[in-house]
A and B are shown apart, each in its own frame.
Chain A
C-alpha cells in the first residue's frame, strides 16, 4: 500500500520531469522558429533578397478581408453587452451618462485587441496549422527544401507579414464597431443624450489607449502566427497529427495571447 503510494508519487515525479523537459524543448523550438522568421522577414530583404509581395497580398485577403464580418459582429455585440452591463451599475451611482466613457476605454484598451486576437487565433491560427501541416505531411515542405528554397521564407513570412499588418487594422475597426454598439444602446435604450454621451466618451479616451491596444495586437499577431506555424512544422507522420496539432495550436495561442495581455496590461499599468 505504502510502497504503491510512493511508487505512484515516483511515477508522477518522472512524468513531471518528462513533461517539463518536453515543455522546454517546445519553447526553445518556438524561439528558434521565431528567430529565423524574423531573420527571413526583416534582415534578408536588406541583403538583396527582396520580399515577394504577391503571396503577402493573397494572405492579407485570406486572413484580413475575409475575417472582417466575424470581427465586426463580435466587437459590435461586445459593445452592446458592455453598455447594458455597465448601465445597471452606473445608474445606481447616479452616473448613467458615463456609460460611454466606460465602454470606450474598456474597448480601446482591452476588449478590442483581445477579442479580435482570440477570434483570429481560432479562425486564422487553425487555418495556418492545417494548411502548412498538410504540406508537411505530403512532403511539400521537404520538396521546397530540396529545391533549395527556405520553407520559413516561403510559407511563414507571407503569413507573418499579413497578420502583422492586418491584426492592428482589424483591431482599429473592432474598436470602432464596439464603440458604435455602445453608442447605439446608450442613446436609444438607455436614453442618454447623444451629445453628452459623445462628450463624456471623448473626455475619457486618450490617444495612449489606442496606442497601447495596437502594441498589444502586434504582439498577439506574432503569437498567433508563430504558434500556428510551429505546430505545423513539427508534424511527423500521418494526417491525424494535423487535426491534433491544429487543435493544440488554437488552445496554446489563445492561452499565450491572454498571458501576453496580462503581461502588457501590467506593464502599461506601472509604466504609463
Chain B
C-alpha cells in the first residue's frame, strides 16, 4: 500500500473535555480500499477521534487531510459532503419517522415546490435495503424496529452517498451472526470500490476476520499500528491494556443451593410459549438464542414489565405474580436491560445518581438521601468495574459507551439481588473489562446469587454459564450443561434444527 495517497489522514489531533484529555496528539491514516481497525479500552478515545473526523467535535489542535488536502470538518453534513460517512455507536435515529425518511434525513429527494418525492425516496431506500438483505420495508416506522434492525438502518444511511471513507463505530454490538455476515459483505463491497474503512470493535474475532491493519489507542494516545496478518490477539490486547489477560475459565465449582426461581409453562401471547426452567442459588444459567427468540421478553416478564398469559412463576418455591419492576426489585430480582440508553440510564443525570437510583428510597439519613453512602457505593463499583470518569459528578451522557454500560451493571450489582438477570451484559465492553465482568458474575454465583445471562455471543455463554437453555422462536428447544455442550449442537438448537446429543426438553 506504500506509495498510495491515504484516503484520509489525521495529524496530531488533540481534544480535551473538562477534566479529561480524550485525545492527546493522535495521528492515524486509512488507505483507499483498506479496512483499518481501531481498538482500545473503554474511554480510550476511539469514538471521540471519529467524532472529530465526522465534524461533530472540533479538535483543539491538529488537522484532518482528505487525500492529503487539509480540510476543516465544520459539521456532520459537511463531512458527509466531503465523503466521510459515520455510523454511530449510539443510535441516532428519529423513532417517529419511517425507515426511508431516516435513511435520507436532511436530504430527502424533492420535486417542484419543495415537495418530497416519495416514490423516489421509497425506491432508492428499497435498493439499499436489498443490499442489506433486511426484513423490513422503507415505510416501516423506525420506532417499531428492534435494536439490531435500527443498526441496519444506520448502516443504510452510509450507503446513500459516494463515500471516500466510512467509519463504523461498534456496528456489530447488537447484530446477530447472520446480520453480521451481511454487514461484512457490505464492507467487502465498499472495500472493492476503493473506499477506506475505519472499523471500531471490541471483538477480536471480527478484527482478525475482516481488517487489514490494526491501530490501538490508549488513554488518548496512539500506542501502535500493526498489519493484522502479522499480529495476534495477545499482542493486540497487550498494546491495549499494557498487560496480559488471563482468559482461563473460572470454574471454581461450589455447592449449589435451593431452587431460587422456577418458571412453569410460562407463555406470553405470541412472544414466547410454554417456557419452563429453574435456577438454583449459586448457579449461572445462560439463555442463548437469536435476537427475537423471546429471551428479552421472558426477562421482562420476570421483572414485572409484561403480564404472562399463562403459566407460573415460583420464587423460593412460592407461586406469585410480579406486577411491576418495583415489585420485582422488592422481591430481590434485578434486570440489567439490553438498551442502556433507552432503559438503563438517565443520560442527563450524574454517574452517582444513576447508579443508586433503584435504591434511593433505602439510602436515607432522616428524610434525606444519604449522599455520603451514595458516593461510597459509586466509588466501590467504579473501582471494581474500572469505570473511567473524572468523578461521580460527570453526566452519564458524557461517558464513553462502554463506561455507560458499566454504570448500568454497577447499578444492579449494588442492589445485591437474589436473582440477577443480565441482558447482553458486555455489549460494547472492552476485552479486559469483559473478563472482569464475567469473573464478577461467577463471583456472585459463588456467593449464592442466582444469575441468568442472556447473550447472543456464544463465547460468552460458554464461558460463564453452568447450564444453557437454547431458545428458538419463543420456545426453549434444548438444555445443555457445561459438560455436554458443543458449539455445533448449540447452533443447531437455536436454529430449530434437530440434534441427537444433549437432553431434549419437552
Tell me whether A and B are bound partners.
no
